[in-house]
Structure 1
Amino acid sequence: MNLILQGLSANRSDIDRIAALAQAQRVVPLSPNAFRCEGVQADDALRARIDAECLAAQLDYAFADGERRLADFRLVAMDMDSTLITIECIDEIADMQGLKPQVAEITEAAMRGEIEFRESLARRVALLKGLDAAALQRVYDERLKLSTGAERMLATVKAAGLKTLLVSGGFTYFTDRMKTRLGLDYTHSNVLEIVDGKLTGRVSGVVVDAEEKKATVERVCAELGISPRQAIVMGDGANDLKMMGISGLSVAFRAKPVVRQQAHVALNFVGLDGILPILS
C-alpha cells in the first residue's frame, strides 16, 4: 500500500517521522505539501497510530492502492452545503429572519444523524415562512463561497474525463447557479416553494434525502453506463452516507465523526483537491 500524507503546510520532519512509523520503503514528494510513502504494510494497529499522529500534526492521510488512478473513475458526486461550498445555505437564509441559531441547531443534529433528514428539513423550512425570496439572492451574493480546492479539483477531474454531479439536500436556487458557474454536468436538490415572492415554508416535489441521494447517484451511473464503484462520492453529513456507501471511493470532507468513521478517506485539513494526490 501507499500512505498519502498531506497538509495545508506540511512539515517535512513530521512527514519523515510518520513515514518511519509506517516503515515506508521510500517517500516521494508529490507537491510541496503532499507526499507518497510507498511500500507500507497497514494493519489496524498501525492505522490507529497514524490517525493519532496525523491529527496531532494537522495532516490528512490515506492508505491507497498504488495502482488506482483518477482515470479509473468516471464520475464525481458531491454534496453541496459544507462540502462544495463552505456554508449551510438554509442556516444563512434563516439568518435573514433572525432565526439562524434555531435552524442551525436542527441542521447540526441532522448532520450528526440524530434527527431524520425529512423531519429536519420540514422543521427548518417551516421557520422560513413569509421570508422575501430576495433573501436567497443575498445569501448567494454575500455569503456563498466555494470550499478550498474546489475549482482545482473540478478542473482536474473534468480534464481526466470524469462527469460531475451535485446532489444536495439544499435547494435548486443554489444548485442551479452552481451548475452554471462551475460547468457541472448534473444537479439534483429540493425546490423551495415560493408564492407571490415569499417563501411558503414548504418544499415541493421529491425530497432529496439520503435515499434520494443514493438513488440519484445510481440513476446517473446507469445513464453513463458505469458501476457506482466507478464513482467518487464526497460529503460531510449523515444524509450522505448511503450514497457514499455505494461508491468506489467515499470522501468525508470536514465531516461529522459518524461520516469520517465510515468513509474510505477523510479530509479534515486540506481542500477538496486533496483527493488528487491519493489518485496520482
Structure 2
Amino acid sequence: MNLVIQSPEPLGAAHVKPLIALARGSQAQPIDPYAVRILDANPAQRGDVEAYCATHALDCAFVRPRLALSDFGLVAMDMDSTLITIECIDEIADFCGLKAEVSAITEAAMRGEIKNFDESLIARVALLKGLDADALEHVYIERLRLSPGAEAMLGAAQRAGLRTLLVSGGFTFFTDRLKARLGLDFTNANTLEIVDGKLTGKVVGEIVNASVKARTLRETCEHLGIPTSRAIALGDGSNDLEMMGEAGLSVAFRAKPVVRAAADVALNHVGLDGLLRLF
C-alpha cells in the first residue's frame, strides 16, 4: 500500500525516516510541503503508524497505489461539522437562549449515544418553536463558514468529473444556499416548518436520518449509473456511518471516535483538501 502522511504545517523531514521504518516502507515521495507518500508500506503496521501520527498531530492513510480521483464518480458529504464548521441547529437555538441544551443533545447524537436520531431531532426542533424565522438567515450570514479546504476539494472533484451530493440531518434552508453557492449537483436535508414567519417546532416530511442518508447515496449512484463503490463519502457523526459504509471510500473528517474507527481514512488535522493528497 501507499501510506500518505499529512500535516497542517509544513511536514518536517525529521518525521520521514521514522515513518518509513514504522511502516516498513521502501521510500518516500514528497507530495507538497505538507504531505509525503511512503511506498510499499505494510498496512499491518497501521497501529504503530497511527500512534506516531497521533503523538505528532499528523494524519495518515493507507491507500491503494495508483488510486485516482477520477476513479470515482460521486463525492457525498455531510453538512454540519463536515462541509461547514458549525452545527446549524445549535446556532439557531442560540437565538432563543437554548444553545447549551440543544448542543448537548446534538453532541450525544453524533457520538452515537442517542440511538434514535429521529427522536433527538424532533426534540431539538421542538425547542425552537416560536422563534422568528429570520434567525436562520442570521445563522447563514453571520456564523456559517466552510470547513478549511472545502472549496479546493470540491473544485478538484468537479474538474475530475465527479458529481457532488450534500446529504444532511440538518436543514434545507442551509443546503439549498450551499448548493447554489458551491455549484453542487444534489442535496437532501430536513425541512423546518415555518408559519407566519415563525418556526413551529416541527419538521415537514421524511426525516433525513442515517438510513435515509445511505439510501440517498445509493439512489444518487443509481441515477448516475455508477456502482456505490465509485462513491466517496465524508462525514463526522454516527448518523453518517451507514452512508459511509455504502461508499467505496469513506472519510472521517474531524469526526467522533466511533466514526474514525469505522472509516477507511480519518482526517483529524488537515482540511478537506487533504482528500486530494490521497490520489
Deviation at 1:42, TM superposition (A): 2.0
Deviation at 1:67, TM superposition (A): 2.4
Cα distance in 2 for residues equivalent to 1:142 and 1:52: 38
Cα distance in 1 for residues equivalent to 2:24 and 2:261: 24
Question: How big is each residue's C-alpha offset from its partner over 1:136-181, in whole Å with a ceiling of 9 and x where there is no partner?
Answer: 0000000000000000000000000000000000000000000000
Q: Report the residue type matching 1:53 in the other structure.
A: Y
Say whether residues 1:197 and 2:197 are aligned partners.
yes
Q: Report the residue type matching 1:85 in the other structure.
A: I
Give 3-state SS (helix, strand or coil) of 2:131's partner: coil
Deviation at 1:15, TM superposition (A): 2.7
What TM-score, normalized by structure 1, do the two folds share? 0.98
Q: Counterpart in 2 of 1:42? A: 43
Deviation at 1:92, TM superposition (A): 0.2
Cα distance in 2 for residues equivalent to 1:217 and 1:185: 13
Say whether residues 1:16 and 2:6 are aligned partners.
no
Question: How big is each residue's C-alpha offset from its partner over 1:242-264, in whole Å with a ceiling of 9 and x where there is no partner?
Answer: 00001000000000000000000
Q: Counterpart in 2 of 1:27? A: 28
Cα distance in 1 for residues equivalent to 2:16 and 2:170: 38
Deviation at 1:41, TM superposition (A): 1.9
Gaps of 5+ in 2: none
Say whether residues 1:140 and 2:148 are aligned partners.
no
Deviation at 1:20, TM superposition (A): 2.2
Q: Report the residue type matching 2:275 in the other structure.
A: I
Say whether residues 1:120 and 2:101 are aligned partners.
no
Give 3-state SS (helix, strand or coil) of 1:241's partner: helix
Give 3-state SS (helix, strand or coil) of 2:169's partner: strand
Gaps of 5+ in 1: none
Pairwise CA RMSD of aligned residues?
A: 0.7
Deviation at 1:24, TM superposition (A): 1.6
Deviation at 1:19, TM superposition (A): 1.8
Among all aligned residue pairs of Structure 1 and Structure 2, give the percentage whose two residues are the same amino acid: 59
Cα distance in 2 for residues equivalent to 1:104 and 1:35: 37
Say whether residues 1:210 and 2:173 are aligned partners.
no
Give 3-state SS (helix, strand or coil) of 1:130's partner: coil
Count residues in correspondence.
277
Q: Counterpart in 2 of 1:73? A: 72
Deviation at 1:16, TM superposition (A): 2.6
Give 3-state SS (helix, strand or coil) of 2:41's partner: coil
Give 3-state SS (helix, strand or coil) of 2:164's partner: strand
Q: Counterpart in 1 of 2:88? A: 89
Cα distance in 1 for residues equivalent to 2:152 and 2:21: 31
Q: Report the residue type matching 1:184 in the other structure.
A: L
Cα distance in 2 for residues equivalent to 1:137 and 1:98: 17
Q: Report the residue type matching 1:114 in the other structure.
A: E
Q: Report the residue type matching 1:3 in the other structure.
A: L
Cα distance in 2 for residues equivalent to 1:12 and 1:135: 48
Q: Report the residue type matching 1:261 in the other structure.
A: A
Q: Report the residue type matching 1:138 in the other structure.
A: H
Give 3-state SS (helix, strand or coil) of 2:61's partner: strand
Give 3-state SS (helix, strand or coil) of 2:161's partner: coil
